[in-house]
Structure 1
Amino acid sequence: MNPTEWYLEYEIQRNRPGLLGDISSLLGMLAINIITINGVDEGRRGMLLLAQSNESIDRLESILYTMDTINVTKLRKPKLRDRLAVRHGRYIQRDADDKKTFRFVRDELGLLVDFLAELFKQEGHKLVGIRGMPRVGKTESIVASSVCANKRWLFVSSTLLKQTVRNQLIESEYSEQNIFILDGIVSTRRASEKHWQLVREVMRMPAVKVIEHPDIFVQNTEYTLDEFDYIIELRNDADEEITYEDMPKNQLFSATDFGGFDF
């Protein structure tokens, strides 16, 4: 049997000296290697493990549940959130009701870039929406993630440097390996029918599409939020409300104002 990776997370009930050494020794006796270890939350520790057999994991589980110094919270094949938690020392915040919505604050841009890069590396269609107030770092995070994933990014519509509204792509840009970036406000408020023909063409491609302001996008198109695989919310701080109500309408919808307004 080939070695398999597992994720172990436990909550420390009684942090006595030598606790980690005891667990490490137990793993060694069961021929289970520690790949990575880190604190993933206050009072919690996460480990990526490499086990030679499932039987050794079963034995580990039965022993760990007898220990009164720890409380095992996860022992499973590692998910993307588990790997990132160990790598960054914190868990990505996930909406309790909507499992496809993930929340970040500006101080977590490194974690966000890493998360998006891992999504971008996956093959096939993926539709990602990003919510956030102006100048919080949405577009910059998408571009940085594309670089980390070694993918080319293409702006179908954007306001990063100046207003961009594409009506066509050149032949070399029709690649499923590219990351296609759209600004939901620009596309729905300032674009022509030719642009929308391109948007629909891109949306049909089995590639990664990232749409900023997905709520505005779906309000004015035939698409729905149910079609999104992931929704990212990026805030300056955890208490910030993402809303368009306080933004002057001329900044939202006037072509003359788009160039200086970084959505």
Structure 2
Amino acid sequence: MKKTEWYLEYEILINRPGLLGDISSLLGMLSINIVMINGVENARRGLLILTEYDEQITRLKSILQTMDTIELIKLRKPKLRDKLAVRHGRYIRRETEDPKIIRFVRNDLGLLVDFMAELYKKEGHKLIGLRGMPRVGKTESVVAASVCANKRWLFVSSTLLKQTVRSQLIAGEYGPDNIYIIDGVVSKQRSGEKHWQLIREVMQLPATKVVEHPDIFVQATEYNLEDFDYIIELRNHENEEITYQAAGDSGFSQNNGFSMFDF
């Protein structure tokens, strides 16, 4: 019989020696296998477990709720953020007012890459926005996640190595396993009509699109921020403000915000 994966999270109320052993022994007595365990938040522990029967989870829940040394927080089929929390020892942070906004700092780059790689593995159209100040690691994270997900990345517009503004793709560059990367600032300031025709074509493909600087991108297109499935914000530190300072009609300059070669 196929085993089912569950996520168990509990908070330690009385941290005494042998507590983890007691939990492990309880799971063993119920014939529940531990796949992975880690601290996920302060005094909380998260576990990925495998069971053959739902009755095992029912019994486990009833026993855990009687223990005075822990408080049962979650016992459910694992979500993506649960799996990432166990792998990395911390949760990804969502914006409370807008759940599609997810925040990371540079110290979270491993978690960010893992998170994006899991998004890339899902089939179909996905539109991901990526905000961040210059040289914070945006493009590098997108590329690293593509490698982790075994996907091919394609720059529609970018300044990673040199300024790239494409007006067409070749036959082998169309496909659902490609990750299409668009720099909103470069596309807005340095492109022509053929480039925008290509972007409209790419946006219709059943594949993942990652748009760096989505706020600038939507200024030049018919799309809006509500069209994005996720908005990822990457900062050097938690209190950093992501800003775009316009310099007249020319857009951004080195003296007033971003330079074109900062991206």
Read off the aligned partner of 1:15 and give its amino acid letter.
Answer: N
What is the match of residue 234 of structure 1?
234
Correspondence 1:129-168 to 2 at 5 A? 129-168=129-168
Read off the aligned partner of 1:225 and give its amino acid letter.
Answer: L
What is the match of residue 98 of structure 1?
98
Q: Please point out which of 246, 249, 252 is paired with 1:249.
A: 252
Cα distance in 2 for residues equivalent to 1:222 and 1:89: 40
Cα distance in 2 for residues equivalent to 1:198 and 1:251: 29
Structure 2 residue runs without a partner (length 5+) = none
Read off the aligned partner of 1:61 and give its amino acid letter.
Answer: K
Q: Deviations over 1:62-120 (max 9, x none)?
A: 11111111111111101111111111111111111211111100011111111111111
What is the match of residue 202 of structure 2?
202
What is the match of residue 173 of structure 2?
173
Cα distance in 2 for residues equivalent to 1:155 and 1:199: 11
What is the match of residue 49 of structure 1?
49
Cα distance in 2 for residues equivalent to 1:127 and 1:83: 22
Cα distance in 1 for residues equivalent to 2:11 and 2:219: 44
Read off the aligned partner of 1:249 and give its amino acid letter.
Answer: F
**Distance of aligned partners of 1:32 and 1:71 in 2 relative to their CA distance in 1, 3 Å threshold:** same
Per the alignment, in what secondary structure is the counterpart of residue 188 of structure 2? helix
Q: How far has the Cα of 1:250 moved from its partner?
A: 2.5
Read off the aligned partner of 1:79 and give its amino acid letter.
Answer: K
**Distance of aligned partners of 1:246 and 1:40 in 2 relative to their CA distance in 1, 3 Å threshold:** farther
What is the match of residue 22 of structure 2?
22
Correspondence 1:174-189 to 2 at 5 A? 174-189=174-189
Please tell me whether the aligned partners of residues 132 and 235 of structure 1 are also in contact (alpha carbons under 8 angstroms).
yes
Read off the aligned partner of 1:211 and give its amino acid letter.
Answer: V
Cα distance in 2 for residues equivalent to 1:141 and 1:9: 29
Per the alignment, in what secondary structure is the counterpart of residue 181 of structure 2? strand
Q: How far has the Cα of 1:29 moved from its partner?
A: 1.0
Cα distance in 2 for residues equivalent to 1:90 and 1:162: 36
Cα distance in 2 for residues equivalent to 1:25 and 1:172: 54
Q: How far has the Cα of 1:170 moved from its partner?
A: 0.5
Cα distance in 2 for residues equivalent to 1:235 and 1:58: 42
Please tell me whether the aligned partners of residues 185 and 252 of structure 1 are also in contact (alpha carbons under 8 angstroms).
no
**Distance of aligned partners of 1:252 and 1:159 in 2 relative to their CA distance in 1, 3 Å threshold:** farther
Cα distance in 2 for residues equivalent to 1:154 and 1:6: 36
Cα distance in 2 for residues equivalent to 1:141 and 1:238: 18
Cα distance in 2 for residues equivalent to 1:262 and 1:164: 14
What is the match of residue 75 of structure 1?
75
Q: How far has the Cα of 1:129 moved from its partner?
A: 0.4
Please tell me whether the aligned partners of residues 7 and 49 of structure 1 are also in contact (alpha carbons under 8 angstroms).
yes
Compute the TM-score of the two structures, normalised by the length of structure 2. Answer: 0.94
Please tell me whether the aligned partners of residues 152 and 178 of structure 1 are also in contact (alpha carbons under 8 angstroms).
yes
Per the alignment, in what secondary structure is the counterpart of residue 243 of structure 1? coil
RMSD: 1.6
Per the alignment, in what secondary structure is the counterpart of residue 6 of structure 1? strand
Per the alignment, in what secondary structure is the counterpart of residue 226 of structure 1? helix
Q: How far has the Cα of 1:249 moved from its partner?
A: 2.5
What is the match of residue 64 of structure 1?
64
The share of aligned pairs that are identical, in percent, is: 71
Q: How far has the Cα of 1:192 moved from its partner?
A: 0.3
Q: How far has the Cα of 1:246 moved from its partner?
A: 8.0
Q: Deviations over 1:29-83 (max 9, x none)?
A: 1111100000011111000000111111011111111111111111110111111
Q: Deviations over 1:2-42 (max 9, x none)?
A: 21000000110110111111111111111111000000111
Once superposed, which parts of structure 1, at least 4 consecutive aligned residues long, lie more than 2 Å away? 245-253
Q: How far has the Cα of 1:224 moved from its partner?
A: 1.1
Please tell me whether the aligned partners of residues 215 and 225 of structure 1 are also in contact (alpha carbons under 8 angstroms).
yes
Q: How far has the Cα of 1:175 moved from its partner?
A: 1.4
